[in-house]
Amino acid sequence: MTKPQPPLSLPRIAAGDLTSDLDLTVPELQTLLRLAADIKRHPGHYRTALSGRIISLLFEKPSLRTRITFEVAAKQLGGDAILNIGPIGGREPVADVARNLERWTDLIVARTFDQKTVDDLARFASIPVINALSDMYHPCQVLADMQTLREHWGCLENRKLAFVGDGNNVAHSLMLNAARLGLNFACIIPPGYEPNESIVAQAREFGKTTGADIQVTNDLDEGLKDANGVYTDVWASMGQEHEAAERARVFAPYQVNAGLMAKAAPGALFLHCLPAHREEEVTNQVIESPVSVIFDQAENRLHAQKALILMLLDGPAR
């Protein structure tokens, strides 16, 4: 019979929330990635870490990976999760939602249309709040992405990741974390779909410290040169369905196919946050190729989010 594990003593995230990627300091980010790797290797060591803890899952948008991995994470750590699907702050103010949930549960995970909703939850709740996707950021996805790249490359320094497509929330989070971890990053987008200028400026400031080169370009050849990884996302995110036809026309030259992958470094990995629209932003040939690591990314959502939860909470309920 396996002996029960003692309560864990883990580093805490000083900000107390993860509303954006920048709520994690660089040392905390590095610690989280190491912890995620350890959880993946030794899941049994953490099986009672959240005993008695309950996580609230608030989802305004559809979800497979985020919803399932947070539910599984809570249960595999000895706690539980409760899901609510629908608008946040529709029937009552966000402030009231936050102050109700803090009385019943230990942590809020929110997937929202508007970054302000996440910020307001964190402002009014005395318990930690995690951004599980907003219009500005997708930090949980990118924690898993960085874990995946470290597994395949060993380290991130002197490597280059190219993101091809819309300058969206995934591009923002990738750019910020790449810059802070010393990973060169190119965002390759059609004219008019560039990422948020202030986020680009922030990333470039971080790059001055770490040596990461942050590039924004419309030119595929320029952006893909020497890229060790190629990342894409859907052309029309949730809430942009009315733009789908126009975006399909504009983004067609940026489809990730065999010809585009050939512009990157030999053996470059292919990444996608999923769900993928096969034969739109990426061909089936690339998705099913040996360089595709999309399901490694999906698996690592579980491990990275376990690490994040543990660094926001201080062990089992007392």
Per-residue pLDDT tens digits for 112-130: 999 999 999 999 999 999 9
Task: Assess whether the region 21-137+301-312 and the region 141-297 belong to the same CATH fold.
Answer: yes
Provide the whole-model pTM: 0.95
pLDDT confidence band for 316 (50 / 70 / 90): confident
Task: Please tell me which residue in 111, 150, 180, 247 is annotated as part of the active site.
Answer: 111
For this structure, is 141 an active site residue?
Answer: yes
Q: Where are the domains of the chain?
A: 21-137+301-312, 141-297
For this structure, is 273 an active site residue?
Answer: yes
Instruction: Encode pLDDT of 228-239 as tens digits.
Output: 999 999 998 766
Task: Please tell me which residue in 53, 65, 67, 138 is annotated as part of the active site.
Answer: 138
Task: Please tell me which residue in 273, 297, 303, 305 is annotated as part of the active site.
Answer: 273
Is it true that domain 21-137+301-312 has CATH number 3.20.20.110? no
For this structure, is 155 an active site residue?
Answer: no
For this structure, is 138 an active site residue?
Answer: yes
Mean pLDDT of the chain: 95
Task: Please tell me which residue in 106, 141, 187, 272 is annotated as part of the active site.
Answer: 141
Look at 278 and 316; give whichever has higher pLDDT.
278
Task: Please tell me which residue in 120, 233, 247, 305 is annotated as part of the active site.
Answer: 233
Superfamily of the domain at 141-297: Aspartate/ornithine carbamoyltransferase (3.40.50.1370)
For this structure, is 111 an active site residue?
Answer: yes
Does the structure show a pLDDT above 50 at 227? Answer: yes
Does the structure show a pLDDT above 60 at 318? Answer: no
Does the structure show a pLDDT above 60 at 301? Answer: yes
For this structure, is 99 an active site residue?
Answer: no
Query: How many residues can be counted in the chain?
Result: 318
Average pLDDT (149-160) is 97
Average pLDDT (9-15) is 87
